[in-house]
Structure 1
């Protein structure tokens, strides 16, 4: 059998259908012998001899190339009769290699595949210097870093946004000691073992990795180091590590963190100062008095339809609306007609106005200890600058007098007659709106103009049959 036939047999043997006999080619040498048999029928010989016929049937199958079944190779059995006991150095190196494989496998199994891709993207971005990164790369850095619990527990969202623009990555070779006394570190690639830790008594302890009962290895996503000078953020915090292989580690220095905190604090103070000075009652205030209120303000968010102040109660805080708006409600008692001619007294809430952005409420109620004459409910999700009642009462007498002279109570001069007239106008407006809607709906649906509504319904999906020509009758 030729080489080409053997290749064809190996390539096509898997595609053969069982029960059908196939051939992969023709052996032309045997075909020539078959044609040259003496005694076969030809022009000169009208009949075939029995000997030629017998020889033809014997050599006929050899013309076609048949596939051959290749049996698998029998592996050679190698027996090692001599066992050599490994030395102590070889056994220790084997333990190190086996331990490294287990740690690598565990580290890769703990991290999902989609998260591994994000870590690779982050490492690629952080290899560039901060001033070489584009705006989209800085945004990706912030989004990926916010997925790590070690980062979210240490930094606020605003701090992380600022730090992601200037964060750096360091590469450490195997066996390096990384000290985190003056920075925050987080491992992105590789693993390391703790070297020093801070105990519950705020003392630095050196760890012996080999004699620990439960050794802990820091892998991807684990952090170490401290950013505060006076005390560490939590006990048993790892201060320094020794790398077990080449590691890629994120670093945030203490100077960077303090600089970002100072910038955010100055920005927050400027926003609070602008908010107070934009309120109508504080536009003529001196800057020194405004700064006193800026020190007391804290940001707080409230959901929609949240009751901020109830009517008849003293406010628990003074609020300065940064975003959103609030409704001013007033309670009124009316008589409602029931069945059988009976009357019942019902309390209804009337919208008397709205508090927009850059407006405040609650100062006079706290300073003069007067209950509110109305209720304030948030119309949307609102963000307020809040000063608690205790902090506002703790102001110096000069600023208290200044508050009494400038601030005004909400709906302070409102009479009961004005409230009644407001309720009557709202009810008339409501009745007129209902009357208009009723008339319009009756007019539209009078002849069934809209499909599906009215006295008659029409199936628009059904095709009408074409009408034929009328025939004349005689």
Structure 2
């Protein structure tokens, strides 16, 4: 703003207060005021009442008011966040029951509230569940399975493999407001809407506490009987039961099939207070799935035993007995499964992977000035799929002859020693007669010769490598830096012409 347009009173009171002559026009920097100064506020400030008087006290009071109002002439810039810096925060008034949101907020991450994305995933899930199971794609089946795995009450009762199989056939049911849903024939999950228990929780606990605990899930919306309710009065409990609601992801019903549950339908009933979307896992379907998977598992175990070379002639009845005791167990590569010199406590059949066989030997090692005896492990071979080990060590209670180390990820079918001793005499005698010790055909002389051969080969390789290095060094040759070894990304400019010619 040009100095001449300022009121003379402002310039005069500046001289009186500061005892400094008014600044010249050159001393005022030129500002791009069109974007910084609000000229409306500046006009009001220049015509402020009291600046036209020459009295010292009047000018002083006007000056103080002028200074207080002076910052208003500058327009404040609105800071806009870049797209990467924008953060979506939850509304202050909106509440959520997801404890993960609050935990992440405590750790300083505010970009966590994804309510819109969550609702979109629910809508997508409901769209898939409305389709017939035969019309869903493989990707849609995986979406349903992954969403069901996030429900704690389901994962506590059903393992991942069973849940994946059940998710292939479930669908969503729509229940209008005021409907009564009986949960005595399956396990239900509320995906959308609000419901309440039909029966009073306290009365139900008095009649059948066990039934109540199986009905009501352990999440934050369900009623759980514990020690905290021992000192609670009946009145307080009944009042609190009025507020008992089943909301989204709440569960009710049962996966057990018993005559008592069939007769007491009302114990597992809820009343919808809104239009609800509910998925159902039928108890009968779950029971059939368990039986089918159990039969498949037993058939897999029997097939593994029957294909083992030592058990080809074992009767089917004995194979079935062995299969009932089998437990699956996995070992990572490098894990020591059995150690030489100790009595093994199980019989194992290799279902997948392989094990490396090592035998112990006492060898002399040259340690600078003296020889010392050292225990060495000598590799003698492998145990592959459909082979077994441990029968003789368990039945005769003798130390295991070798050390077994997992060469890859190994899955074993294991029968513990207590179950082996519980078998009939015929099966035990058959196992002793037809099985042989692991690496039992190898004598101590064979192990010693194998060790000597390996040591000779190792020493020769070391001697050959050191000799070649010494020859190269004495002739000034450095490996990988020779005349004809070049790792160029492109041909150097000074060589292109000669190469083309």
TM normalised by structure 1 equals 0.68
Deviation, structure 1 residue 131: 2.3
Deviation, structure 1 residue 291: 0.8
Deviation, structure 1 residue 461: 9.5
Partners of 1:326 and 1:277 in 2: CA distance? 20
**Taking structure 1 as reference, are residues 363 and 357 closer, same or farther at Cα in structure 2, changes over 3 Å only?**
same
Deviation, structure 1 residue 277: 1.4
- Does the 8 Å CA contact 1:335/1:346 hold for their aligned counterparts? yes
Partners of 1:151 and 1:104 in 2: CA distance? 28
Partners of 2:467 and 2:453 in 1: CA distance? 21
**Taking structure 1 as reference, are residues 285 and 203 closer, same or farther at Cα in structure 2, changes over 3 Å only?**
closer
Partners of 2:469 and 2:276 in 1: CA distance? 74
Q: Which runs of 5+ in 2 are unaligned?
A: 1-33, 40-91, 102-112, 216-222, 224-234, 262-266, 496-501
**TM-superposition CA deviations, 1:355-404 (whole Å, max 9, x none):** 11111111121112221011111122211111000001100011111111
Tell me what 2:319 maps to: 290
**Taking structure 1 as reference, are residues 261 and 129 closer, same or farther at Cα in structure 2, changes over 3 Å only?**
same
Tell me what 1:181 maps to: 184
Tell me what 2:292 maps to: 263
Bigger Rg, structure 1 or 2: 1
**Taking structure 1 as reference, are residues 191 and 436 closer, same or farther at Cα in structure 2, changes over 3 Å only?**
farther
Match of 2:423, SS state, is coil
Tell me what 1:304 maps to: 333
Pairwise mapping of residues 24-39 of structure 1 onto structure 2 (< 5 A)? none
Match of 2:454, SS state, is helix
Deviation, structure 1 residue 17: 5.4
Partners of 2:432 and 2:493 in 1: CA distance? 84
2:406 aligned to which of 363, 378, 390: 378
Deviation, structure 1 residue 193: 2.5
Tell me what 1:399 maps to: 427
1:343 aligns with 2:351: no
1:202 aligns with 2:210: yes
Tell me what 2:168 maps to: 165
Deviation, structure 1 residue 195: 3.3
1:151 aligns with 2:179: no
Deviation, structure 1 residue 431: 2.6
**Taking structure 1 as reference, are residues 334 and 20 closer, same or farther at Cα in structure 2, changes over 3 Å only?**
closer
1:279 aligned to which of 303, 308, 326: 308
1:222 aligned to which of 226, 250, 253: 250
**Taking structure 1 as reference, are residues 131 and 203 closer, same or farther at Cα in structure 2, changes over 3 Å only?**
closer
Q: Which runs of 5+ in 1 are unaligned?
A: 1-15, 22-101, 233-237, 468-474
Higher helix share: 2
Deviation, structure 1 residue 185: 0.7
**TM-superposition CA deviations, 1:47-89 (whole Å, max 9, x none):** xxxxxxxxxxxxxxxxxxxxxxxxxxxxxxxxxxxxxxxxxxx
**Taking structure 1 as reference, are residues 411 and 459 closer, same or farther at Cα in structure 2, changes over 3 Å only?**
closer
Match of 2:121, SS state, is helix
**Taking structure 1 as reference, are residues 280 and 112 closer, same or farther at Cα in structure 2, changes over 3 Å only?**
farther
**Taking structure 1 as reference, are residues 178 and 433 closer, same or farther at Cα in structure 2, changes over 3 Å only?**
farther
Deviation, structure 1 residue 189: 1.3
Pairwise mapping of residues 318-337 of structure 1 onto structure 2 (< 5 A)? 318-337=347-366
**Taking structure 1 as reference, are residues 338 and 129 closer, same or farther at Cα in structure 2, changes over 3 Å only?**
same
**Taking structure 1 as reference, are residues 396 and 217 closer, same or farther at Cα in structure 2, changes over 3 Å only?**
same
**Does 113-122 or 193-202 show the bigger shift?**
193-202
